[in-house]
Structure 1
Amino acid sequence: MWSMLMRKFRRFPVFSLDKRQWMKNVIHQEVGKGKRVIMFYVDIVKLTEVENRYGDVIAKRVLHIFERILPHVSRQVFEIRGNILAIQKLWGDDFAIYVSFGGDVNEEDCRMLSIHFQEQAEKQLNRQVSFVNREELRVHIGYAAISGQDIVKEMYTSVKRAAHMAKYGITSETYTHVTQFHQVLAEENVTMNFMPIVHLPDGETLGWEALARGPEGSPFATPSMLFRYAEETDTVFRLEHICRKRALEQLRYVKPQQKLFINLDPRAIDDPFLLRGEVFARFEQYGLNPYNIVFEITERHAISNYAVFRKIIEEYRKKGYLIAVDDAGAGYSSLESITEIYPDFIKLDMSLIRNVDVDPIKQALLETIVQFAEKVGCKIIAEGIETGRELETLIEVGVTYGQGYFLGKPDKGMGHASGQAMNFLRTMQEKKASVREEPFLFTPAMSEILAKTITVEKHVKVRRVHEIFEQNQRIESVVVLEEGRPVGLVMRFALYQVLGGQYGIALYYERPVSQIMNANPLIVTKDDKLDEVARRAMTRDAYHLYDVVIITGVEGEYIGIVTVQSLLDKMASIKLEMASSANPLTGLPGNVQIERELNKRIKQQVSQMVIYCDLDRFKWFNDRYGFETGDQIIVRTANLLKEAVMRCGSGDDFIGHIGGDDFILITKAAGADELISFLLEAFPLFFADIYEKRGLGEGAILSMSMAGVCMIPGLYENVEAIAERAAYVKKRAKELPGTVFLDERDCAADETHQTQV
């Protein structure tokens, strides 16, 4: 009798937490035999209510009865398929039953065994509990597998998981879904779709936001349901970790100038995967760096401790990652997040974007946010753009980047803006260009302000670059070359930020500089226009806003750098010069700029047409109708020339105001015919309202004489020669009636004919 009791005791041990090592060894042995160990979690539903209603004595009696019947029901149910290893009392009325099964047991088997156990436990418990006036007692049950990889950890997590499952009820649909969700996590059965984020001024793709999707056809196919079950089961960190891994698997499709936006829940931010070596090895493999990754700090949950959170964020920054505040404007503490985190990007929630085209309050708020972002040096991304009118309004208020179904839907591949969106943006560009106020600013080439800095080859170690900065305190940049061509840039502050991290020197000091350089610096040619380079420089991300600009020659070879400060200084100098020498009435470049432009174009090896424009009978109009009308005619003529260039020009045209009613227009010879045809057709109608107001007949209307001089490379040595020839052709043109254009080649033919006669 005693020996039989001892055998039963050994089969059903009840032990405390100090026996975890013993349990670990037992599970390890079973897993080693190829067995599958399942932990079944059971408890009595609402035992606390029983205690409150009937007292502590009755509650303890119920618990004592449950403890007594537990071994019997466990043997009755589980030993049909498996072997009971142990029954562990966790706390109060919560128990864990560890059962070893053959390898063929599946999820449905565990579910059916759980249902059977629940039925038998409730039946026996209610039969032995005899107090009156009560509802029948219920039992919760859930289960979780222990794989044996980290048994101590799994003993804890399995209880947690099974307890979550148990609270829904073993036969409920939610319980089934929770079981399926845990299976999704176990198999990491998560895929990523990618939504393009577009640079609104030109439609270029800044990057993509990675969006999680569960298995197709499952309850978790949408991200909202996927993360809802993660919240329910307290597995947000686990799910986000899987999502980040899946997103980073697509790094090979990202170009050096593009970015991958990855969501990061504040509660799951401290992910070692992102701050250790594995992910950095992928950057090295694909020629990228952490600058290509933007972590979106989602506003779904408020940040409770900014001091700790900010410290973790700084670790990401030191590694080179960029930061965005997501869902700004949707609630919680968006403004506090922005002021505490100092993000590189602010993503505006779709609630601010929806119907913004008809909501003046939202427009005013957006204008304020845009101005704020410009002052603090971060970029705005508008989310949820769904109509052309919303997009147009966002462009008008100055929003730089956007995403939404109108621009491009999420897809498994990394697509770009849709054809519909690109056509719309092109139309917007044309519309904006047609009203541009200052299209003819003279700017010199980049070669006029370039400087030099130290260069290194891409295989040089980071240690050497650090030594260069230490030995040359006045330089702020080192250009990285490959066979004489620039392939990267290292700024002093960026290098010190990387090396200043906790593991910076250990990780990078002896590695090639190519692993930490900015692989997508701004590179321009020596002949690029200064104003265009300045515009491109100032639209870079805040982190790289003050990086130097690299200058290359005709063959792409490195020849120097330009600092942002020198760019801005030169632009300010040019605008000051323009303001002092431009015509005060039309604002067009005056004679100083005209002469400089002609000298520059004489040196170019491209055939160009110089058109000298002179109004006929202007003095008569000015004397008869006064200076106000005369000024109106001059300004309108300037606007006509601008419109001609906008509609028919080559994109590199120049308009100057010589003085009075004389203008000069320079365009490429190849496209001059269309521009001239437009002027000949449009000029007679351009002053119709003035004629009507003054009651003038056809004999008193204005006309314009245009003289064309073709600047063939090598034909004219200086500006004086062009001016002399243009004056002669203009004189011949004014001998003809009405608005006319006379080409110098026509004059040359007449001269030849007269000589022959």
Structure 2
Amino acid sequence: MWSTLMQGFRRTPLFSLDKRQWMKSIISQEVEKGRSVVMFYVDIVKLTEVENRYGDVIAKRVLHIFERILPAVSRHVFEIRGRILAIQKLWGDDFAIYVSFGGSVNEEDCRMLSIHFQEQAEKQLNRQVSFVNREELRVHIGYANLPGQDIVKEMYTSVKHAVHMAKYGITSEKYTNVTQFHKLLTEENIQMHFMPIIHLPDGETLGWEALARGPIDSPFASPSMLFNYAEETDTVFRLEHICRKRALEQLRYLKPQQKLFINLDPRAIDDPFLLRGEVFSLFEQYGLNPHNIVFEITERHAISNYAVFRKIIEEYRKKGYLIAVDDAGAGYSSLESITEIYPDFIKLDMSLIRNVDVDPIKQALLETFVQFADKVGCKIIAEGIETQRELETLMEVGVTYGQGYFLGKPDKGMTQVSGQAMNFLRFMQEKRESEQGEPLLFTPAMSEILAKTICVEKHAKVRRVHEIFEQNQRIESIVVLEEGEPIGLIMRFQLYQILGGQYGIALYYERSISQIMNANPLKAFKDDRLDEVARRAMARDAYHLYDVVIIIGEENEYIGIVTVQSLLDKMASIKLEMATSANPLTGLPGNVQIERELNKRIKQRESQLVIYCDLDRFKWFNDRYGFEVGDQIIVRTANLLKEAVKRFGSTTDFVGHIGGDDFIIITQADCAQELVSFLMDAFSPYFADIYEKRRMGDGAVLSMSMAGVRLIGGKYVNVEGLAERAAYVKKLAKEQAGTVFLDDGDFRAEEMYRSQV
């Protein structure tokens, strides 16, 4: 057979089972000459059915005839435009025809040549195969370009490409779409849109999810069509690789605390681009680190081998990447994925979020997810939020993060939360703050729990930092400075995790510490409220939850650190003290805390006002109607004072219960007028239902006398002097009828006070 074929096709190298190196050489020579090489794949449609129907002998005769006519048909069709380099038998009835064209050749040229070849091959084949009389034999054909950059690899991928094209039929719309899809992959013509992920309590942007889009004027504009064709053509890994490259091009727009969420198909997880260090130059260029990247393990396909999968995930973790489980609650194996992967984030599928505001079962499921996430130390992100009511319900059940069209639609740039959503989140924040209890009475300065650690300059080598940790086993953190200001933090466990990776030491050991440090550590001023710093510390993501807090001075200079353990211990101590000293009836701070607060305020320089509040005729009501009514009056008074402070006071204001019917308010001087006016207007209506039902013949009603003492730095040296002044002003106030306020700055009060002294 070979001699016959060679005689009939002298000018063209013909069939070979495997001459890849020879073919590589031939193709390389053509590419170097500036010619285009195209591989045309052909086979006989359903040759197996011929074998089943007519037997093995007939099938072999059909294949023999096809092999015999192939050179002549190929020469007749392709040498109109180009030159045949070789015809290679791949397997069975599958053949590859390599054709060289002068200059470039476009898609339409290849398509028309393919149609012409198909027509001629089928005509010749059916003319010579006369024993097959029930239906005509058909020929598949597809094609793929070989750019000549990696020829051996291209020879393999071009066959896969051409096979996918061939099975749809050269004249079908599907064939055209597959051709466009492969062109899209070759040109990497993928656009990325970005959807904001919002921290719901304050409206800050946690990061963005990168979403792939094809060209707008193509069938692949929607991500569903894009990935459907990738599934059909077995190019998911290649498509996702392009998407990740495109997404990571946007790193330059991230702030150190923000994150880029990138989808990662379980079948395409082992991407050398991510695991072999190629991407780390981007982090270095933009001052970021792998902790700014969150890989979403999508649940479109179940994970078949968790042992292998978990091993790869651990490689990502050692590099510093974060992991999220996507589409949780949508089916497949999301719960198993969560238990196997231990994600940093759980993204709840939109099917759980849709109409959650009117579905109690979904609400119950969400509450379970939130409780679970709290226990295992990960964050919940709700996907697909489309209405304000859905958002409000999610916040009520404790979901911390969200994304969806109501919050912000995906777009080409790093979009921000929508104006409508931002206004609503601000309203919810104000509502939440107004419902919170009064601030802690005694909030010690951060300096009381301050500790020291070793600092290095940003140019210090990772090697040097590692040596410091090795030599100082009790040190768990090192602060990175630039001209005395802290710009980063490295924790012991984080450094060891990075260096413990497969290429950790080789990649980082001789680089500067600034390339792997946390460039956005939590900082606090030395005078910040301890409870507020604790809240900010515990709101961090799981990876940084136990990082130390860096304490800075007014000029942003480094002062020291506070560990999360010491912060929580102090908070627990304060809460215990409050519980033991607070008034059992109203829950307000009692005398021990009041005295401590007054001493602290006396030392401050800003202008403040101390208001002593005393109920008038309370004893009469208590004796006549019993302690239950008396307790009700005391509790209502406490609530009224707290409401006044929340509505008109400042965040540093304080409310205390001295005992009995005596209370104290400490507020800023510029807040006092509105606060007092509210109390005077609201007091009588606040108790109307109590004293109207019990009013006796003497017309007894409740009222309140308020004595204000201006607290200016240096005016008082101790609480005793302040109390003496307040007692006198309160005496003057009680001499007046009704609910009154008397300020010690008032001329009459000042004059009378001096005459008594």
CA distance in 1, matches of 2:518, 2:137: 66
Distance 1:625 1:106, change over 3 A: same
Q: In the TM superposition, what are the counterparts of 1:651-666 in structure 2 within 5 Å?
A: 651-666=651-666
Q: In the TM superposition, what are the counterparts of 1:125-524 in structure 2 within 5 Å?
A: 125-131=125-131, 133-437=133-437, 439-524=439-524
Matched letter for residue 168 of structure 1? Y
CA distance in 2, matches of 1:640, 1:592: 22
Matched letter for residue 460 of structure 1? A
Verify the 8 A CA contact 1:293 1:322 in the aligned structure 2: yes
Shift in Å at residue 365 of structure 1? 1.0
CA distance in 1, matches of 2:752, 2:613: 25
Bigger shift: 552-561 or 687-696? 687-696
CA distance in 1, matches of 2:130, 2:621: 116
Distance 1:697 1:524, change over 3 A: farther
CA distance in 2, matches of 1:5, 1:327: 58
CA distance in 2, matches of 1:312, 1:754: 81
The aligned length equals 755
SS of the equivalent of 1:218 reads coil
Point out where structure 1 has 5 or more consecutive residues left out of the alignment: none
Verify the 8 A CA contact 1:142 1:166 in the aligned structure 2: yes
Bigger shift: 111-120 or 715-724? 715-724
Aligned to 1:643: 643
Aligned to 1:723: 723
CA distance in 2, matches of 1:582, 1:747: 36
Shift in Å at residue 696 of structure 1? 5.8
CA distance in 2, matches of 1:486, 1:370: 35
CA distance in 2, matches of 1:631, 1:3: 114
Verify the 8 A CA contact 1:45 1:138 in the aligned structure 2: yes
Q: Deviations over 1:210-230 (max 9, x none)?
A: 111111121111111111111
CA distance in 2, matches of 1:155, 1:754: 104
Verify the 8 A CA contact 1:14 1:89 in the aligned structure 2: no
Matched letter for residue 620 of structure 2? W
SS of the equivalent of 2:501 reads coil
CA distance in 1, matches of 2:658, 2:480: 47
Verify the 8 A CA contact 2:441 2:593 in the aligned structure 1: no
Shift in Å at residue 131 of structure 1? 2.5
Q: Deviations over 1:518-551 (max 9, x none)?
A: 1111110111111111111111111111111111
User: Scaled by the length of structure 1, what TM-score is found?
Assistant: 0.97
Distance 1:697 1:471, change over 3 A: farther
Shift in Å at residue 625 of structure 1? 0.7
SS of the equivalent of 2:105 reads coil
SS of the equivalent of 1:486 reads strand
SS of the equivalent of 1:228 reads helix
Distance 1:414 1:322, change over 3 A: same
Verify the 8 A CA contact 1:13 1:88 in the aligned structure 2: no
SS of the equivalent of 2:706 reads strand
CA distance in 1, matches of 2:445, 2:689: 42
Matched letter for residue 188 of structure 1? E
User: Scaled by the length of structure 2, what TM-score is found?
Assistant: 0.97
CA distance in 2, matches of 1:250, 1:587: 52
Aligned to 2:61: 61
CA distance in 2, matches of 1:349, 1:276: 32
Point out where structure 2 has 5 or more consecutive residues left out of the alignment: none
Bigger shift: 18-27 or 584-593? 18-27
Q: Deviations over 1:684-742 (max 9, x none)?
A: 11012213443568932211111111112222222222211111111111111111111
Shift in Å at residue 745 of structure 1? 0.9
Moved over 6 A (4+): 2-5, 752-756
Matched letter for residue 411 of structure 2? D
Matched letter for residue 126 of structure 1? N
SS of the equivalent of 1:171 reads coil
CA distance in 2, matches of 1:238, 1:104: 25
Aligned to 1:26: 26
Q: Deviations over 1:143-165 (max 9, x none)?
A: 00001111111111100110001
Shift in Å at residue 236 of structure 1? 0.9
Shift in Å at residue 50 of structure 1? 1.6
Verify the 8 A CA contact 1:691 1:697 in the aligned structure 2: no
Bigger shift: 122-131 or 542-551? 122-131
Cα RMSD (Å) of the superposition?
A: 1.8
Q: Deviations over 1:203-261 (max 9, x none)?
A: 01111111111111211111111111111111111111111111111111100011111
Distance 1:90 1:742, change over 3 A: same
SS of the equivalent of 1:278 reads coil
Matched letter for residue 353 of structure 2? I
CA distance in 2, matches of 1:750, 1:4: 127
Matched letter for residue 492 of structure 1? R
SS of the equivalent of 2:18 reads helix
Matched letter for residue 509 of structure 1? Y
Distance 1:363 1:132, change over 3 A: same
Bigger shift: 434-443 or 16-25? 434-443
Matched letter for residue 608 of structure 2? Q
Distance 1:525 1:3, change over 3 A: closer
Matched letter for residue 566 of structure 1? S
Aligned to 1:669: 669
Aligned to 1:614: 614
Verify the 8 A CA contact 2:208 2:259 in the aligned structure 1: yes
SS of the equivalent of 1:700 reads coil
Verify the 8 A CA contact 1:350 1:384 in the aligned structure 2: yes
CA distance in 1, matches of 2:674, 2:752: 28
SS of the equivalent of 1:225 reads helix
Q: What is the identity percentage for the equivalent residue pairs of Structure 1 and Structure 2?
A: 85
Distance 1:83 1:467, change over 3 A: same
CA distance in 1, matches of 2:482, 2:213: 41
Q: Deviations over 1:624-658 (max 9, x none)?
A: 11000000010011111111112111122110000
1:532 aligns with 2:532: yes
Matched letter for residue 389 of structure 1? R
Bigger shift: 8-17 or 730-739? 8-17
CA distance in 2, matches of 1:697, 1:515: 82
CA distance in 2, matches of 1:29, 1:8: 25
Shift in Å at residue 46 of structure 1? 1.2
1:96 aligns with 2:104: no
Aligned to 1:704: 704
Matched letter for residue 125 of structure 1? L
Verify the 8 A CA contact 1:11 1:86 in the aligned structure 2: no
Shift in Å at residue 503 of structure 1? 1.1
CA distance in 2, matches of 1:150, 1:228: 27
Q: Deviations over 1:458-512 (max 9, x none)?
A: 1111111111111111111111111111111111111111111111111111111
CA distance in 2, matches of 1:739, 1:248: 66
Shift in Å at residue 9 of structure 1? 3.9
CA distance in 2, matches of 1:103, 1:743: 96
Aligned to 2:605: 605
CA distance in 1, matches of 2:168, 2:297: 31
Q: Deviations over 1:596-648 (max 9, x none)?
A: 11111222221111111111110001011100000001001111111111211
CA distance in 2, matches of 1:423, 1:556: 32
Shift in Å at residue 753 of structure 1? 11
Matched letter for residue 195 of structure 2? M
Verify the 8 A CA contact 1:440 1:588 in the aligned structure 2: no
Matched letter for residue 378 of structure 2? C
CA distance in 2, matches of 1:558, 1:698: 67
Shift in Å at residue 8 of structure 1? 4.4
Shift in Å at residue 436 of structure 1? 2.2
Aligned to 2:555: 555
SS of the equivalent of 2:144 reads strand
1:564 aligns with 2:564: yes
Distance 1:49 1:134, change over 3 A: same
Verify the 8 A CA contact 2:438 2:654 in the aligned structure 1: no
SS of the equivalent of 2:384 reads coil
